[in-house]
Structure 1
């Protein structure tokens, strides 16, 4: 095996489905390439770059941006709610733990107080927030639109749109995306389209600064159900997963998009990378199609690898890093969950599997770790359970039904749950008990976007609308 080459899975390669497979979702179809199979019953994963710098004089004719904010608004963004910003996937630490307090212990039967609601196009992109400005992305015809909104009112500050034809290879009803969240990286907003096109924009105006195409430039793994990985800011770079040979991971300079390094070989999937610290060493953990591995964010050098084979290469969830150097990884389609314990000395990392359970299948949701336990919505093609699992042992201490597949966020001793049917719930969890404090239907199916919490203000969206709620006592 070549240095920095990750073992590849025969079943993790992707292909376009033909009309027969789409019309007969109970059938499997051989795509004509060894080891490539189409599984039409999958559910789309929710939730990116030698620099192709956008000079304003060289914009592509089909791309445009417009600012609708006044000079006064542009000069100073007033936070809509006191609280820690939520600039990237999962918040500042990518763990879906919000540094908020003062949340109500219950809501009225109709739900929490709605501050504003406005139409938004199709898509699943999560909502970033910084300094009273929201950033998300949606679909307008055949174009992807990246937008900045005033967090206090929902009014548009700027938009950047570009042609991006894409049809999801599963079924058209789940839509063409976009799936990835626009993340705030320094003075930029960086995001990816469902076709693997990366865009870095000026966060104040939406003016494009640089872009890359992971497929055409770097021969990345084509994700026929839509590229949904999120970039990982590190020092003066932003790291993206492309998959493929020799450029599986790429670090781009935030300023101008120049390639700082590229390396590794693996089949990419929908999971986003996570920055961790293993006994003083910075590492990036990546859940790929058939393995979980760690690499050096400074140069892309492979540090360790461990088998985790997700059928059809459809790992979606982001790994979870917990105290005690415990790494929780999970996926669906029969693979399940495992916890690895990592230890590092003199630059060498040892990996010990503490447990594995193929029944603990995490599909599209987020997992929350707190005080030695991990909480998540388990199941993908049958009954769905909320459950608590002890990280060190894998012991399930409780499991409860009552919600569809859900996205979770932890704040102020409570879990905010948003399921794919549009139900929003406030819950209290412990290793012994799951208690639903309040719930209300606020969105429409399919709602796969994780909620964003800044202070006591919650932002949610589905494929038609974006809304803000006040969760304060």
Structure 2
């Protein structure tokens, strides 16, 4: 049975029969969570055990594979279901799939204006990754259309248009930041005067607060806890900033400009109150150390270096080292950098620009050419245990690791792999 949902978009809910329901229930008991961009803590690390130390020549076991439309949106996992976005003709689509089988559970589609020239050249998106919080899923399209949907049915709860309501200027490649939840709100960078960042009430979509005067970048915000205080870290076009997530009050800023304001990679927070950020486009990497003195947050830059320049991939911190793929429009190098000093521990060729996820002491690497690898990364070396040519170029979507299940996609397909 197909049930159509009315409103500015439309949803499809598929009845899959008793066997599929049973399979979905089994999946929910074995598949861990990855409910947002970057995983549970937005650090691209999974708390999992049981990953194999190698793969056969043909790669890890493929649980399922299916076609999916255009897009770079990553895959969120919650309660046995997957959530991502893709483009279908003149529509953007939020899709929910059964994690165990890949079958469509529901879709919510809405009309979307023609993409820009750059979107056509590199792919029209969507880029943002859905957030699952409570009973709802929050998704943002390339032109800043925000939809809050029931995660079980796809029924629309509320929506916003960031362009019409807040004057958001659509960037050349489209909106890319992924929403983040804080208590009873969902927060998005928007850009502009007095509404650079906006928090919406999860229950009804009303504006909880809006503040600041920054221009919007492609980077997704993160939440950190500094000496007992929650802070929202936003990587904007010319600076990185810390806000109070409860009311949007500015706590601190630190400059980090790039050509065209292209700050894309997600900042990395870790032990020692160290915040790592990296950009391409004639920039580099820097680490700042945050501390609190009474009600004030103090910022000290520990180092800046141009050797590591992360373009649109991500970085992972393990211990005192950050691992990332450096390179913008030239050769790429996988690198290890001491987060305390900026000293490069090693550089490795052999991969195109890549995204990384970490779990069970292992680094999973997916480069833009579609090569998937399993490795162990230490301050001394990168040891690659297995490689396989898996996806088609451009495989720019960061993988999702939930338990021993890895979910990957390119611009045509989505797959589930068993890494146990």
CA distance in 1, matches of 2:147, 2:318: 34
Change (3 A) 1:64 1:171: closer
Contact 1:426–1:439 under 8 Å retained in 2: yes
SS in 1 for 2:260: helix
Contact 1:166 1:194 in 2 (8 A): no
Q: Specify the alignment match of 1:153 in structure 2.
A: 101
Whether 1:256 and 2:179 are equivalent positions in the alignment is: no
Match of residue 320 from structure 2:
372
Dislocated runs of 4+, deviation >4 Å = 70-77
In structure 1, distance between residues paired with 2:214 and 2:335: 32
Q: Does 1:59 align with 2:7?
A: yes
The offset of 1:84, in angstroms, is 3.0
Gaps of 5+ in 1: 1-55
Q: State whether structure 2 residue 47 is matched by structure 1 residue 99.
A: yes
Q: Tell me what 1:36 maps to.
A: none
Residue 186 of structure 1: how far off its partner (Å): 1.1
2:289 is matched with: 341
Give 1 or 2: higher strand fraction.
2
**Deviations 1:444-468 (Å, cap 9, x if unpaired)?**
0011101111111111000100001
Structure 1 position 82 matched with structure 2 position 35: no
Query: SS at 2:121's partner residue?
Result: helix
Q: Is 1:412 aligned to residue 360 of structure 2?
A: yes
Give the 3-state SS of the residue equivalent to 1:217 in structure 2: helix
Query: Within 1, Cα distance between the matches of 2:123 and 2:116?
Result: 6
Deviates more, 1:166-175 or 1:345-354: 166-175
2:339 to 391, 394, 416: 391
Contact 2:130 2:179 in 1 (8 A): no
> Which of 230, 237, 254 pairs up with 1:306?
254
Q: Larger RCO: Structure 1 or Structure 2 (Cα < 8 Å, ≥ 6 residues apart)?
A: 1
Query: Paired residue for 1:136?
Result: 84
Report the CA distance shift for 1:171/1:301 in structure 2 as closer, same or farther (over 3 A). closer
Total equivalences in the alignment: 415
Q: Contact (CA 8 Å) 1:117, 1:467: kept in 2 or not?
A: yes
Conserved 8 A contact 1:112-1:470: yes
Q: Distance in 1 between matches of 2:249 and 2:327?
A: 35
Counterpart contact for 2:32–2:77, Cα < 8 Å: no
Matches within 5 A, 1:44-443: 59-60=7-8, 63-70=9-16, 77-79=25-27, 82-170=30-118, 172-443=120-391
Distance 1:446 1:315 in 2: 20
Give the Cα–Cα distance (whole angstroms) in 1 for the partners of residues 379 and 199 of structure 2. Answer: 39
Q: CA RMSD in A?
A: 1.6
